[in-house]
Structure 1
Amino acid sequence: MSPSRSDPSILIIGGGTWGISTALTLSRRGFSRITVLDAHPFPSPISAGNDVNKIMEEGAPSPENTDEEYVWNRLHQIASKAWHEDPVFAPYYHETGIVYAACSPEGWEHVKGWTVGREGEFDLLEKKEDFRRTMPEGVLTGDFPSWQGFWKKSGAGWLFARGALMSAYKEAVRLGVKFTAGSPYGEVEALLYRNSTDSQPDVTGARTADGFEHIADWTILSAGANADVFFDFENQLRPTAWTLAHTPLTVEEYTLYKDLPVLFNAERGFFIEPDAEKHELKLCDEHPGYLNMVREHEGEEERSRPFARHEIPEESEQRIRALLQDTMPHLAERAFSFARICWDADTVDRQFLIDRHPRYKSLVVAAGGSGMGFMMMPAVGKVVADTLEGVLEPRLKEGFRWRPEQAVGRDWQSTQDRYGADGKVMDFSDVRKWTHVG
């Protein structure tokens, strides 16, 4: 069935960032038979997008771009337009600027690479006074030992993630999308398969924990880090976790810290201005990620499997406090008010995986956010919808293709060009102490 010639039924598995954006985009294009399934009530407490803020940087492709650069910059262009102009998304983009930094020669060379060809957009920061002047007096009181950086004053900032999720969800509901969330009715247990008349297998929908079989003309699997629980991605996905914490501010501090540029150190971590509701400052330590490697069945290869926890490893807390000691030592000992681990799925090349499956003709996969999926939320919805309709522009189609050949002999310990911690991918099985919050 060609979606461009009819109104097929569409089942979306996963009601997080990408699932909601896809549902919204398809409903705006006139598809009226869309159902979204998710195991958790909306917004899901385990969704990476259910967060106070995410980093945003704008961009656009240029004639000099390689194919890989073109794909990434084209997504930036599509997403930037939506964050500026789409009434569903625009209220949640805060264009406050961003500070990029590093504190070792190797890290500095890495960060400088982000500015190549765009040097005129950045101010060089070489000493503590340079960093301190990027924010109001009294915010950055640290000495910034060995830090070097760049300040991009416009075309970047942060997104109120939970607000954008809620906005897209409400608009999708208004347009007729059906959301079935929570266990057992929205909890998917398995995909449904059948053999078609030409003896080729196909996906026909999903079965939920209540035993109900949701049959659809098209199934879109956008379940984030849990996607390969439901389907064999042939080692293309590696569920990887990051760590975050919040520290509370006084009303006076919140007023001072409002409208700050994002500060991101490729080795230490980052922070973004406090949220307006709770006056909490979000803090993240930077590292290549945590895995949770388990062997689910005897004889099978170990795989990383997500789990939810509203605590972080003690070593993560120490890294966050080291970031504060460098930048805002007056907050370095303040207790955390919230913490959690946050999962995404890494592809081998950290490029998204969005494609019609080559074997199951009615299945579209949308996974592999690789830690960069939220800022691209509006663009991903368009890409998935274009993929479903068979109209995705060729260079994007090639970049996002189903590509298991990249995962043959995959190195699960690859840092994938990430820095911080000891420069190694970590495993939660090695964590001995967790930070207790509350």
Structure 2
Amino acid sequence: MGSGQSHSEELKSEKLSTPPPLEKDSPIVVVGAGTWGASTALYLGRRGYTNVVVLDPHPYPSPISAGNDVNKIAETISWRPSGGEEDDRVPVETHIAARTSEGWLNDPVFKPYYHDTGFIAAASTPDAYEFVKEHEITEDMSEYVPLAGTEFRQAMPEGVLTGEFPNWKGFWKKRGAGWVHACNAYVSAAEEAQRLGVRFLTGTPEGKVTGLLYGDNGDVVGVTTADGKEHRATRTIMTAGPYADQLLDFKDQLRPTAWTLAHIKMEPSELPLYKNLPVLFNVERGFFMEPDEEHHELKICDEHPGYTNFKGPCHDPAAESSGSIPFAKHQIPEASEQRVRNFLRETMPQLADRPFAFARICWCADTPDRRFLIDTHPDHPSLVLGVGGSGHGFAHITSIGGFIVDELEGRLEKRFKEAFRWRPETAVNRDWRDLQGRWGVERRVMDFGEVKEWTQVRDGRDY
């Protein structure tokens, strides 16, 4: 005990160090039914917990969840841990990727939604090309085909890539990467969790969490919802994504950051040509994958370090800034539209001027080092945190719930415990404009408060 700690503080500390015992029938509340909430619910159901409720103001698949999307980039790796000492010399990111790969390749809940079509990583300037070589080449170089300029056309059927690819250089990995149907995988996890007995209260005030409930000793004992009810719980799990910061002080460890996407409608006659395409990703321009089968739309994302919302929508101009506040919008800034179209002019100019069929902003929450935050809160031992997707959270839907439930059960491996720990010291004097290793035409973090014009896309859909 430090010299400044009173006896009462010591007793409180002792109380907080031992949360109530956790049994299979203990009430557990999961706050947030997005990607990580659905994955956590799945793993709780699989491990036999029988009194679990997931709360969210939106129905699943949530219209504001990053996982409610037609496709996401995914990559699998062949390395598997052996259990020997050599595992300790392998980066923790490789261990995470191995668990995630196992899910995409073998878990029946997720396997149907992974498409191994290949992956192309590219850049348009020398510095970004060096970044690609360092960060996107994950295995032996012999697994990759180098491409430059119009050589990129050879990676897809004739007539797809018709652009000149000015100053482009990159690599084509033909197998071991591709895309996943994000929304279908997300829904599959939630539906399997429900089949296993997990309850979802979503889409009504009954599911909107308005605050955490605290006991006399300061521990979290559940949540309150917008319908005025209290949901008491032995454990509360926070998987509210970029909205988590509105329910708990994360000491600046989370920065809600948004990206932008648009869809272009394809003609039925075009679909066979654009089937089973490898993912094309230029770290400075953007990326696209093949059109989805349901709506026949090609999704394109412009690449940039992200948008924040420190001074835009949802902020009271007369109040002090309350951080970057997420909000839902099925439009994108006009500047983003121009970046999408410029990307298409370099790759598929035949599509560059087609009207958008759909557009929206997509939120995530960045930690300072872009590692996940999965830990028991140091001041609230009954509160488990599962946040900080940092732009790559969805790809790990197959495994992330397992990590969170491991932490709940007190058996998270040491390597993950250290990587995912509560670490406010990393956010001291945080630079909210930090690019965090991201590239893009706009080499800066932008803010929605700067946006003057938005697109006017009419789609009438909820996803």
**Secondary structure of 2:340's partner?**
helix
1:66–1:348 CA distance, 2 compared to 1 (3 A): farther
1:66–1:127 CA distance, 2 compared to 1 (3 A): farther
Q: TM-score, normalised by structure 2?
A: 0.90
1:215–1:302 CA distance, 2 compared to 1 (3 A): closer
Q: How does 1:255-270 map to 2 (within 5 A)?
A: 255-270=272-287
Aligned partner of 1:89 among 110, 133, 136: 110
Counterparts of 2:100 and 2:357 in 1: how far apart (Å)?
Answer: 32
TM-fit CA distance, 1:297: 9.6
Q: Deviations over 1:315-368 (max 9, x none)?
A: 000000011000000000000000000000000000000001111000001110
Aligned partner of 1:326 among 346, 352, 356: 346
Q: Is 1:228 the counterpart of 2:245 in the alignment?
A: yes
Counterparts of 1:42 and 1:78 in 2: how far apart (Å)?
Answer: 25
Conserved 8 A contact 1:258-1:274: yes
Letter in 2 for 1:179: F
Letter in 1 for 2:401: G
Q: Deviations over 1:215-270 (max 9, x none)?
A: 00000000011010100000000000000000000112111101000000000000
Q: Is 1:76 the counterpart of 2:93 in the alignment?
A: no
Aligned partner of 2:408 among 362, 385, 388: 388
Conserved 8 A contact 2:310-2:321: no
Q: Deviations over 1:46-66 (max 9, x none)?
A: 111000000001134788899
Q: Which of structure 1's runs of 4+ aligned residues deviate more than 3 A? A: 60-67, 294-302
Letter in 1 for 2:141: E
CA RMSD of aligned residues (A): 1.7
TM-fit CA distance, 1:28: 0.3
Aligned partner of 1:422 among 442, 446, 458: 442
Counterparts of 2:375 and 2:427 in 1: how far apart (Å)?
Answer: 16
* Higher mean C-alpha deviation, range 36-45 or range 289-298: 289-298
**Matching residue of 2:51:** 33
Q: Is 1:125 the counterpart of 2:147 in the alignment?
A: yes
**Matching residue of 1:159:** 180
Q: Deviations over 1:108-136 (max 9, x none)?
A: 111111226531221110231x2111111
Q: How does 1:208-219 map to 2 (within 5 A)?
A: 208-219=225-236
**Matching residue of 2:4:** none
Q: Is 1:188 the counterpart of 2:209 in the alignment?
A: yes
Q: How does 1:271-350 map to 2 (within 5 A)?
A: 271-294=288-311, 300-350=320-370
Aligned partner of 1:58 among 71, 76, 80: 76
Counterparts of 1:253 and 1:124 in 2: how far apart (Å)?
Answer: 28
Counterparts of 2:91 and 2:51 in 1: how far apart (Å)?
Answer: 34
Letter in 1 for 2:450: D
Q: Deviations over 1:163-207 (max 9, x none)?
A: 1111111111111000001231101111111123xxxx1001110
1:299–1:250 CA distance, 2 compared to 1 (3 A): closer
1:66–1:370 CA distance, 2 compared to 1 (3 A): farther
- Count residues with an aligned counterpart: 431
**Matching residue of 1:169:** 190
Counterparts of 1:223 and 1:6 in 2: how far apart (Å)?
Answer: 23
Task: Give the percent of matched residue pairs that are identical in Structure 1 and Structure 2.
Answer: 55
1:296–1:230 CA distance, 2 compared to 1 (3 A): farther
**Secondary structure of 2:273's partner?**
helix
TM-fit CA distance, 1:70: 2.0
Q: Is 1:203 the counterpart of 2:225 in the alignment?
A: no
Aligned partner of 1:14 among 11, 14, 32: 32
Letter in 2 for 1:166: V
**Matching residue of 1:108:** 129
**Secondary structure of 2:54's partner?**
strand
Letter in 1 for 2:263: H
Counterparts of 1:133 and 1:141 in 2: how far apart (Å)?
Answer: 10
Conserved 8 A contact 1:296-1:302: no
Gaps of 5+ in 2: 1-19, 459-463
Conserved 8 A contact 1:61-1:70: no
Q: Deviations over 1:57-86 (max 9, x none)?
A: 11347888998x722211111111111111
Conserved 8 A contact 1:2-1:389: no
Gaps of 5+ in 1: none
Q: TM-score, normalised by structure 1?
A: 0.95
